[in-house]
Amino acid sequence: MVECHSLRCCGDMFAPPTTKLGFRHAVVPVGRWGGRRSGRLELSGLRPSLLRIQAALPGQESSPESAKRCCDSSAPGTSSYVLSTVGNSTNILWHECPVGKLERQKLLSQKGCVIWITGLSGSGKSTLACALSRELHYRGHLTYILDGDNVRHGLNRDLSFNGEDRAENIRRVGEVAKLFADAGLICIASLISPYKKERDACRAMLSDSSFIEVFLNIPLEVCEARDPKGLYKLARAGKIKGFTGVDDPYESPLDCEIVIQQNDGKCPTPKAMAEQIISFLDNNGFLQA
C-alpha cells in the first residue's frame, strides 16, 4: 500500500479550488478513507484516479517520472509503483499474477513452447502443422496452430504483403505465440517467414530455449511443381510481385533445431515429419511438466 504523509508530496495538483473535472475539493486530508480512520491520506487503490486528476489540471506534468515522484514514499513498509514506457505506450505497469507459467505447465503436464515452421510456399508447412497438432492431441497434449494464411483472416487482416507489413505480420504472430507458450501450450506457427532477422527477433521474445525452429527444406522446384494455390504461376507471369523464391529471396536457417528434408528424392510423409518433431520434444522434456 502506498501512503502519502502530506499533500505536499503530490505537488500543487490539488491547489486550484475548482478543477475542470467539475468538483470543488479532490481529497479530504484527514478522516475516513477506504474504511480506516487515520491522520494520513491513504492512496491505496486510488493512484490511477490521482493520475487522471493530475493530467486534467493545467500545467501539470504527466510523465512516468512525475507519476512515480507523485506517490513514491521512502517510509519503511511502503511499496511503490514503477511505470514504464514501451514503444508508443506510456504510463503502463506490468501486473504479476500468482498463477504463472510453471503452475499452468503443471496443470497441463507439458511445457509451453513455440514450434516455428519455416519454408517456401508449397513446402508443406500447414500440412505438417496439422499433422503435428493431431499426433500431439492423440497423446494428450494441448496445442494451437498459428497459420500464416489463417491469421490474415482476423488478427492481421489490416496488413498487406509489402515489406513493412510482412515484417509486422511476423512480429504479431511472434507475440501471440509467446503468449500461448506462456499459457503452457505447444504453439505451432507455420509461416514462410523468409528473413533470418525476423525469425531471430521472434526467438528473442522467449527468455529460454522454448523456441524451436523447424526448417522444412523442400527444393524450390518441388514446391513450384506442387503450387497448391497457383501462386508460383501468377508470380512467374508477373501478376504477383515480391514472391518468395521467385523475385524475393528466402534466407535458409543456418542453426535451427530441426531440419526436415527429402530422402533419396522423396519427401517424408506428414506423419513421419510430425514424429521427428515429437521425438525432439520428448527428448528435450517438453512433453512433461
Active site residues: 193
User: Can you read off the three cell numbers belonging to residue 216?
Assistant: 522444412
Q: How many CA atoms lie within 13 A of 226 on its CB side?
A: 12
Place of cell 499426433: 135
Q: Give yes or no for a contact between 21 and 51, defined as CB atoms under 8 angstroms apart.
A: no
Buried b (16+ CB within 10 A) or exposed e, 21-30: eeeeebbeee
| CB-CB contact of 36 with 42 (8 Å) | yes
d(CA 75, CA 4): 9
Asked whether the beta carbons of 139 and 211 are under 8 A apart, the reply is: no
Is there a contact between 81 and 3 (Cβ–Cβ < 8 Å)?
A: no
Question: Which grid cell is 235?
Answer: 508470380
Helix (H) and strand (E) counts for the chain?
A: 9, 11
d(CA 60, CA 62) in angstroms, rounded, equals 7
Q: Please choose, from the candidates 268, 257, 289, the residue with its C-alpha nearest in 3D space to the C-alpha of residue 116.
A: 257
